[in-house]
Amino acid sequence: MNLRRAVLRLPSLLALLAAIAPPAARAQAPRPAELIVTGGRIYTVDETRPVVEAFAVSKGRFVFAGSTRDAMLYKGPATRVLDVHGAAVYPGFIDAHAHMLGLGLALSSVDLVGVSSYEEVVSRVAARAKTVPAGQWITGNGWDQNRWPVKEFPTNAALTKAVPDHPVLLDRVDGHAILANAAAMRASGITAATPDPAGGRIIRDASGTPTGVFVDNAEALIQRGLPDLTPRQLSDAIHAAAVESNKWGLTEVQDMGSGRQTIEAFESLARAGKLPIRSYNMVTDDQPDLDYYFARGPRKALYDGHVWVRGIKLYADGALGSRGAALLAPYSDDSANSGLLVSTEKHLEERTIQALKHGFQVSTHAIGDRGNRNALDAYEAALNAVPTPDARLRVEHAQIISPEDIPRFAKLGVIPSMQASHQTSDMPWAERRLGPVRIHGAYAWRSLLNTGVIIPNGTDFPVEHVNPIITFHSSVTRQDAENMPPGGWYPEQRMTREEALRSMTIWPAFAAFQEHELGTITPGKYADFTIVDRDIMTVPAEQILGAHVVATYVGGSAVYQAPAGTAASTATSSAAPAATDVAQQMPIQLEEEWTKGLVARDSSVFDRLLAPGFVYTENASVMTRADVIGSVAGDDHVDWAGNEGMTLHDFGATQVITGVLHVKGKGKDGPFDRRYQFTDTWQRHDASWQIIAAQDYIIPK
């Protein structure tokens, strides 16, 4: 049976069952909900019903998603009705790769993100030094020499001269290099005789003297003198990071590589009801910590679904920006360097076998093409040694992949967990590192998606900004905040908007074995959702970054609300039913629903949106409203469809939307891949909008 046709017939089947049910069963009202949300376009990311008008929440979970009329059946005397006034609602955004402690500490350290010169770095640290007692450590985060006039690693001479009496540690933006002043090097016992550790590098001058930069595994050497954080400092940092994450619409963070003390801080906050975000924790590659958690076994949905501990984090190599990513051939801009292997392939294999035997997931950091190959080889060997159905092994970053390794992800069932904003941050200099050939295997989202894998998206914060709207924009445009370069950087690797939304919701949930609990607005799942002041699924691409979070809800409770008076503070609530649903939506919001109804031949969408007298034309063919509604039982099966470049032409009560509809699928004559230039005309009828005419022209290939 055609699955799409079967899904379309489901409402009719439900109606039949309702008709034959006993009268008492039909009359019984549902239990009143605590919250009903309506008044905007709600994207469920649930394939059975992608867009709804309203949903209801009870006891922290969704209990209904559908029409506003039916949602109001869940309204009782104490039910709160939230009217979002035309805003867009999405499942709670999930960051599939982040560092909560790193973010929390960065919020209180010297901010060096985006600094355009080394001189400015020194100036900011010197200003901080004037505010703290002599001898107290100063930390900073976010410097990137690729943004400076001189692109090479700095020496610490200027930093030491400006700040001689405070030990200073400054993390590079990717977290894979640290710049230290002389005081910090003395405190950590670093001298010219200190050897480079395996998988790490101390940058030295011609005489062999360390110049202040420590790469990858060498970072541990310079951190020896840094005082340990107290449990209170750990909890405060994680709580600050959670609050910051909520502000940007995040409802879960998958925390990569935490030690036991950090994970216990998560649990302490959650136990006290003070963790306003869900956390999926991956234990760092430390033998005592692994022994402790392996002995306890995987722990899931602790403290009302706020903490998971069921994975471990490994490291294959370093980062591209610091030339620590392990490459199969030398760097194009450093012919004597092929990067660093932070762990051997054998170590990755042994750790993965150990984790699989204890029921733990494995995520391995791999950026270079050699790092990725080593990770895949280690996973393949481990799965042969411990056959594990549905292991969902992950490669974090999967940034540069040799062409022959791209299909191996799908073959092995390995998930490439990627960060779209890394591409837009790295694109000004990445090709210098890799050259014109290898670059085609870098940030290759489309190449991977075409093999059948999913890509959970993240930010790697504090490496990139927390804001998931940046992730979405990067995914669908491959452009920076100024919408450059025109058309996008290697645009053939872009995601569709539907894929980008999935990469921030259901795909991270699946990557963490949480797809039955999170990731969609579906009855039975945790009621996590994010309200945004504009619809990122339909606004012109250049307007996506202008979207702001109105509110963030975890388990049906608001954990963030935009301050009153700001442009984003649009949602209101009352104890009375909110104003109606579709009547409040504008054509630009309804266009996507019409498109999906058109390609799926959904008669309920047609009946609601098509005005009396509606006419549809495709090239020379003409269909009436009745013809379109009667076309449900067609032969075409659509696998994917999306609107591109939509433009609104506003004439008051009449609005015209133009753009390109791209459709892929299978028909009676075989697979098809078509683009249509469309012109849809909408008019207001009795306070709601309906479409009066639609014209599609097939664009010749």
Cross-strand pairs, 120 = none
For the whole model, what pTM was predicted?
0.75
Average pLDDT over residues 600-623: 79
d(CA 307, CA 274): 12
Residues 479 and 610 both lie in one domain: no
Q: What are the DSSP calls for 84-144, one per residue?
A: -TT-EEEEPEEEEEE-HHHHHHHTTSEE-TT---HHHHHHHHHHHHTTS-TT--EEEEEE-
Least confident residue range of 20-24, 53-57, 186-190, 588-592: 20-24
Residue where a domain terminates, one of 454, 481, 511: 511
The CATH number of whichever domain residue 660 belongs to comes to 3.10.450.50
Pairing of strands 278-283, 250-258: parallel
Please state the rounded mean pLDDT for residues 318-337. 96
| pLDDT tens readout for residues 253-309 | 999 999 999 999 999 999 999 999 999 999 999 999 999 999 999 999 999 999 999
Q: Is 211:153 a contact under the CB 8 Å cutoff?
A: yes
Q: For residue 381, give the nearest of 358, 401, 362 by alpha carbon.
A: 362
- Position with higher pLDDT, 420 vs 592: 420
Asked if the model's pLDDT at residue 315 lies above 90, the reply is yes
CA dihedral (335, 336, 338, 340) in degrees, to 10, reads -150
312 neighbors 354 (Cβ within 8 angstroms): no
Share of the chain above pLDDT 70, in %: 90
Whether 16 shows a pLDDT value over 50: the answer reads no
Question: How many domains does the chain contain in total?
Answer: 4
Average pLDDT of the residues in 395-399? 98
Domain that holds residue 300: 231-511
- Tell me, yes or no, whether 424 and 288 share the same domain: yes
In this structure, the answer to whether residues 123 and 242 fall within a common structural domain is no
Given a contact cutoff of 8 angstroms between Cβ atoms, the answer to whether 410 and 453 are in contact is yes
Q: Are 183 and 264 contained in the same domain?
A: no
Q: Is 399 in the same domain as 503?
A: yes
CATH number at residue 196: 3.10.310.70
Same domain, 212 and 286: no
Q: Residue 472: inside a domain, yes or no?
A: yes
Let me know if residue 22 belongs to a domain: no
Of 191, 222, 253, the last residue of a domain is: 222
- pLDDT at residue 125 greater than cutoff 90: yes
* CATH number assigned to the domain comprising residue 386: 3.20.20.140
